[in-house]
Amino acid sequence: MNPDLRSKTALVTGGTGAIGRAVCAALAEAGASVVAVCLPSDLEAADALLAQWRDAGLPITVRAFDVSDADQAASALARLAADAGPIDIVVNCAGITRDAPLRRMTAQQWQQVLGVNLDSLFNVTQPLIDGMCQRGWGRVVNISSVNGQKGQFGQTNYAASKAGVHGFTMALAQEVARKGVTVNTVAPGYIDSPMIDAVPEAIRADILKGIPAGRYGHPADIAAAVAFLCSDAASYITGAQLPVNGGMYMSA
């Protein structure tokens, strides 16, 4: 059964991406009004998705701004508050990879990944968290990665950013726990998506061998975990990292 999120408004960064669009749909199916955020350069491509959502009767709109840019995020969120009212749920899902072994990694590759994957959590969550605390209800779900838990060759930037995501989660969870606001991390394993399509076939075959469930995850597997953490049934879960990885990486 869907969690009941009627009367809630959710903001999903990376909401037009492979995982983000499934998260938007799951939250909207649970009754929330949803604002999907994407990069301005992805706005045109989002038209088809918007039409799909409209046809399915899902209340999802799209806004474009760069979540790695603090000023852009602050002004976009201020405009959104004026148009759409308060935001009750934030899903920080925007993320990129710029892979290279450290000895060949450029400062730009490092900064771009940290900017989109980690700075964005500050840029997007900080302007919204006070309102959630004042209203006495809120949900922040941050999307990390199995590679933030175990590291991955060629991903010092990505692994550092994703490990940082959960550090942010644990610290903020403590700051807002008494205000009815929970903060959690969902750590996807390898998900059927363009991010995985970009991995060379030989490496993908190896990855698959290491997944006990014998398949990649579906975006809907991640969306279901996010929707659960946003529900009232999860109100006592905070500061947690929920791995959704088909058993690929387990920790005590």
Structure tokens at 142: 């941050």
Shorter beta-carbon distance to ligand NAD: residue 9 or 13: 13
Asked whether position 123 contacts ligand NAD by CB under 6 A, the answer is no
Which tokens go with 162? Answer: 């994703």
User: Would residue 236 show up in a list of annotated catalytic residues for this protein?
Assistant: no
Is 200 a binder of ligand NAD (CB under 6 A)?
A: no
Q: Which of 77, 191, 227, 234 binds ligand NAD (CB under 6 A)?
A: 191
DSSP secondary structure string for all residues of 19-41? HHHHHHHHHHHTT-EEEEEE-GG
Is residue 14 part of the contact set for ligand NAD (CB under 6 A)?
yes
Q: Are 157 and 98 in contact (CB under 8 A)?
A: yes
Query: Closest approach of Cβ 93 to ligand NAD, in Å?
Result: 5
Q: What character string, x for contact with ligand NAD (CB under 6 A) and - otherwise, covers 82-121?
A: -----------xxxx-------------------x-----
Q: Is 38 near ligand NAD (CB under 6 A)?
A: yes
d(CA 235, CA 233): 6
Judged by CB under 6 A, the residue of 68, 125, 231, 238 near ligand NAD is 68
Site for ligand NAD in 132-171 (CB under 6 A): 143, 145
Site size toward ligand NAD (CB under 6 A) is: 29
Contact 11, 37 (CB under 8 A): yes
Q: How far apart are CA 153 and CA 80, in angstroms?
A: 39
d(CA 209, CA 188): 17
User: Do residues 196 and 252 lie in contact, with contact meaning Cβ atoms separated by under 8 Å?
Assistant: no
Q: Which residues form the interface with ligand NAD (CB under 6 A)? A: 13-20, 37-39, 42, 66-68, 93-96, 116, 143, 145, 188, 190-191, 193-196
